[in-house]
Structure 1
């Protein structure tokens, strides 16, 4: 068999990210039957405990692919119409004309025009997504707050609209995915977490993936360090946190191996039908939470380099942690990586995040992992 994974090159690339300033990271790269697992740095900056590629991790918005797949499976069963107005299912949550104008498909693809609720429930994030004008104070104030999902949705729905339903570009908003969670409740009679677990996680055969039942991550795991653009120095550990503030929009805990297995199963048409997968891969312009214009489908987005194959997947961030999971369209080449520091860039005099060596080192890791 031709060797397509160069372990020495991958080892060097992941070590370079650690040397650039990342406390710890771990990854799995697959190409057919070949597998490389790597880790560099520490899971605990105080004790020096090393990271390991088998660690559990908060995967943030990678959760959105799971939730989108659960909705599509219900659509395949005829319980949800993707182009039906959300007001047909949840009139009390999105009432009136907006409930009639916003479709389920718009929620999955972030083209509903509904605002992000985070700035309205975390007072110190009022200027979100402009992080330079925010502070992490609300993170400490609400570390153990158990949020009511309906109240979070109401904050996003009642906020000034950020676009017209179906308009382009859309705006990435967690409000959309909390509404999808409530839609799953309405049509299945179970919690959204139970539905995603039964229809997606168990269907994919994932053993180390699930929604949190408390504020801690089951062992083994890394601590999660938040720098908040230099405002937290040294970075603060937010690995213990009540994730009800994001729920089925971003609270899953998983491993890099499970993420690769999930996306491989998805791309093979084993989670949703191939017809549904094609719908997931139809993209339109959306402004990300970082303010970048991206192409976004239904819970998936593409990554590609000029002249190279297209990869599909999702990234995710939580307070202190980040992930990226990408799978080539044919399902054979895969990358899943987890990092234990977030918002490492410092700000210049005008408040703009400055480039950091971590950025370049991560991009180099992604390139060698995906394209060799």
Structure 2
């Protein structure tokens, strides 16, 4: 682990345009933590490696693990129809055709609810026709997950249940949150906290209730493809719009600790862990097809070891956390800027220096 090169690579991401980012790389007993840039562009307050941040869809691995614990206990059948537990939320033939497994790996065919909940994002995936106005309109909105689910279920299906490629949809994971609540009799947030976060020994990881983060944290700047200029801080935000799909707050150290525990067999049983790493093709929110398991996806490179984990993004904050399949090397990086790319004439994001610098840091952190 070349710490000088890691520090330099992190600094290159900052120079490319990210206000602040921080990371932790683990390789056996060796640990490197680094930070570059500022937590607050107005005051110049620096970021530090131990800060908390929103980690977006990394939350999905935690929710998936909680569901698979119930599978291990015989309380949930992966291939049972969703209608067995949630007949009112996915009614009719679809409720009988969609299984719990299809929610976990995004092959349910259920659409993303977000463009329906945020009116200015309704034209998505046509990015030039979207506007960020709804982000401000809903900063303090307390969404009901059942109402959000209804938006996704009521929207045109993205495919037949079980068909591939699947299409990534937060609707699936809000439904899994409701499944956890109904099967256990405990709100999903509390159940995940008790049975996943606590079991992994995490001390700085929470599924928040309010709009503010506790403890040291950066401001989180959203650019929405150049339509918010300068980028606006959304660190104060009601996260009920994503709940068990993407609301988690954590640190680099806690995320590495969590994935080490998960891949080391200390969160779910060996059969469930093997299921989590069985992938199908899924169309990501960026439009590319990726291999996706049950709340996990791999990072693969020719001739290199496979890493498992998840990425995440919410308004202004991004996360990337990967652990080598044998658990021997880990990398987590958190950023306080999102959607920094401008759009070209056809509406596609234009490559930005941040993209290359971040990819180089990730390559160095994983493979040396």
Matched ranges for 1:223-372 at <5 A: 223-372=219-368
- For residues 217 and 325 of structure 1, what CA distance do their matches in structure 2 show? 20
1:20 aligns to what?
16
TM-score (normalised: structure 2): 0.99
1:76 aligns to what?
72
For 1:202-237, what per-residue CA distance to the aligned partner results, in whole angstroms no more than 9, with x for missing partners?
A: 000000001112101112000000011111110000
Please, which moves more after superposition, 211-220 or 78-87?
Answer: 211-220
Secondary structure of the corresponding residue to residue 358 of structure 1: helix
Matched ranges for 1:1-372 at <5 A: 5-372=1-368
For 1:132-184, what per-residue CA distance to the aligned partner results, in whole angstroms no more than 9, with x for missing partners?
A: 22111000000000001100000000111010000000000000000000000
Q: Segments of 4+ in structure 1 off by > 3 A?
A: none
Gaps of 5+ in 2: none
TM-score (normalised: structure 1): 0.98
Contact 2:21 2:47 in 1 (8 A): yes
Aligned length: 368
- For residues 83 and 157 of structure 2, what CA distance do their matches in structure 1 show? 16
For 1:223-279, what per-residue CA distance to the aligned partner results, in whole angstroms no more than 9, with x for missing partners?
A: 000011111110000100000000000000000000000000001000001111000
- For residues 210 and 269 of structure 2, what CA distance do their matches in structure 1 show? 33
Give the CA RMSD over aligned residues.
Answer: 0.6
